[in-house]
Amino acid sequence: MKFLDLSKYDHWMAIAITGLIDAPIIPLGAGPDMYILSERHFKNAKRDDFSLALKESFEDFGLEASEKLTLNDPKLILVPLTDVSEEIVSDALKIADMALACFNQIYFPSRARFIKWERRSGKAIGVTCTKGAVSAIRSGFNLTGPAIVKPVEYNFWDWFLASSLRGQLPELGKALYKNMEWERESQNSSHITHRFAFNWVGLESMMPNGECQEAAMVRRYSLVMGAPRGADSKSILANPEQARFFEKYKNSHSKQWVRAIEGMYRYRCAIFHDGSSDLNSEDIDSKKIDWYYHLSKTLSTRVNRLAVNALIDKVDTIDDFWNSYVIDYLYSERNHWATNGTFMQDLLINFDWENEKYPEVI
């Protein structure tokens, strides 16, 4: 049996994979640049240290450190590194994931993939090695949530879940469900462009049929942020009570919101029509993409909250939601965002994305 000589690499990482029953040492890339292998392909002197470190990694990611998973010849992708800093490991994981995608194309029907990958933190179950010293990769997350003292009483979300399970959601409820699905996809992606794109698809799922063009999206979501345009603005000004509310809480940043939503829509088109996903694209700065992601998340949070309120108020259709409910809610004393000072989201729309990446909240 062949063994892999790792002495020529000062730094490397080995990530636990699944979707492969067995294999010899398989070089990947023209270097070779990576390897698919099993633990048995390490020399005996390294195996004990490696097994202990891998077991620690499994445990830290919250998976059972069973003998089957960690000690019975686990399958791995091994990647030589320049160093084992967090940034290098995070970037190498993305490349290794693509290497597995290529491997699956070559060895059909292989389904090789990482056993556990915290994409957003850039960590996966595995080990790193520096000049012979093996260390477990740790998740870096506190996976515990709040301590629940007692369950809340029956509420909207109980009705929403039960109705979705029974296929009884009205049209507006189905749209909200889709938007929430896309939000979850966004949370699980490591690629900021994909996260923005998933959020945007969710926003489109809340639109009336035939209204996913730029003009319609800008109109509807500008309204959501207190920057009404065109017919919406005329409707508000024609209603004395709504007009007074509009003047009281006038959005001095309305043009900035309109431009931002226009920019997001055009970037959305670049992604969906041109296949753009390069964070170093000359067309858009990676920091601006991060800002767009946070703007889209804010739009999604707000439209979801409006949809919840509308469903509680027995609004069933998307047309009724957009054509009457949203204006009636936002330009009335019921609008809690106006009373607590968050209606216009001044800090977010004025964020200096060119000089500082928007702080991520895990």
Q: Which amino acid is at 51?
A: S
Structure confidence by residue, pLDDT tens digits, 183-232: 988 877 778 888 899 999 999 999 999 999 999 999 999 999 999 999 99
Structure confidence by residue, pLDDT tens digits, 308-337: 999 999 999 999 999 999 999 999 999 999
Cα separation, 82 vs 74, in Å, equals 25
Residues paired with 78 in a beta bridge: 14, 35
141-to-52, 59, 86, 123, 193 alpha-carbon distances in Å: 21, 12, 14, 10, 23
Nearest to 139 by CA among 218, 200, 56: 56
Cα separation, 42 vs 53, in Å, equals 14
The rounded average pLDDT for each run of 10 residues, N- to C-terminus, in the chain (362 residues) is 84 94 90 92 78 90 61 88 94 92 86 88 93 90 67 89 94 96 84 90 96 94 96 95 95 95 93 60 76 94 96 97 97 93 90 75 38
Contact criterion met (CB below 8 Å) for 219 and 232: yes
Residues paired with 134 in a beta bridge: 129
Taking the whole predicted model, whether its pTM rises above 0.85 is answered as no
Q: Residue 224: how many CA atoms within 13 Å on its side-chain side?
A: 25
Q: What is the pLDDT of residue 93?
A: 94
Cα separation, 101 vs 95, in Å, equals 10
> Residue 65, class by beta-carbon neighbours within 10 Å (0-12 exposed, 13-18 middle, 19+ buried)?
middle
